[in-house]
Structure 1
């Protein structure tokens, strides 16, 4: 099984605390949505590319992690060009692209346990009022982050299995077994969590 989305390293981003990175990411997101100039947003996107590259991630892996989301951003930008203007399309492209790359840089330099600890601390005040159970929410987020690369790898395996058998790769033919296998894994994990009484601690 894959280890997760974070990569080992000793860059400034790796050494920064998870809390600081999450706060800065939030502030960057607010700033990006307050700026409307395509040129300023293009500069922000270039900075985001530099930060993402500075994590030490291999170029191929870096592209693989964000290509689907960036493709979706490109589609949104095209829609803005069709229904609005070129400036709006460029602003959307650079704004969302920068945000995706900044989030990818934070994810690549922060361990899942650090994310879980910060989420637990953030939600603890709400737990006192009975709104949520902080440990349960942080565990759910940690599991999602942990198994995203596993699901992506499984998707690739199913697709390659189709090609090896000479079958045409169709979205439905890949997604159905992927969903079934993912649900089976979720069932197994849920039983393991209950067996260890994690949610009753």
Structure 2
């Protein structure tokens, strides 16, 4: 399916929807790609779900390390569910259009979960640090209450920053094109469509990442 490229005039955003061009250059392999991504998605969801179930049911795994591992598995399920289902819909229906609101929502959740993953990996590293360097104090330091607080903090820690960053990016005027050269709404391809100088926005992305 071909899509008309939309451009705005007079530096004013008139774009109401975007078009995700990812894999559109492989028109004869859409069904194959759909099958491959479906299998990948099922493997990721079932594998991580199995980890969550095992860590919940096995009493020998009721330890902070496995508690955080179960959280990481839950995060991975959410993470891939932001992008892969949309890819599957695009491949199946050949309709690659996505509204500006849907695109912003996808980016926001993708960034929030990405930040949560970074925080959670940091917490897991801290857990191993305490276990190795302070083994006698480990049960006291990494008690159930502390683990829950660290896990909750990891999940919600990046929400305010990423919501602000998403609002900042989508407050720009998009006048270059409505075609996103990617398979989901990510920051770099979105910024390429914006009018004017986006150096400050690109810099803020690097600052937040660091």
Compare the two structures and name the one with the higher helix fraction: 1
Specify the TM-score bucket, using the shorter chain as the normaliser.
Answer: 0.3 to 0.5
Under a length normalisation based on structure 2, what TM-score does the superposition of the two structures give?
Answer: 0.35
Compare the two structures and name the one with the higher strand fraction: 2
Q: Which has the larger radius of gyration?
A: 2
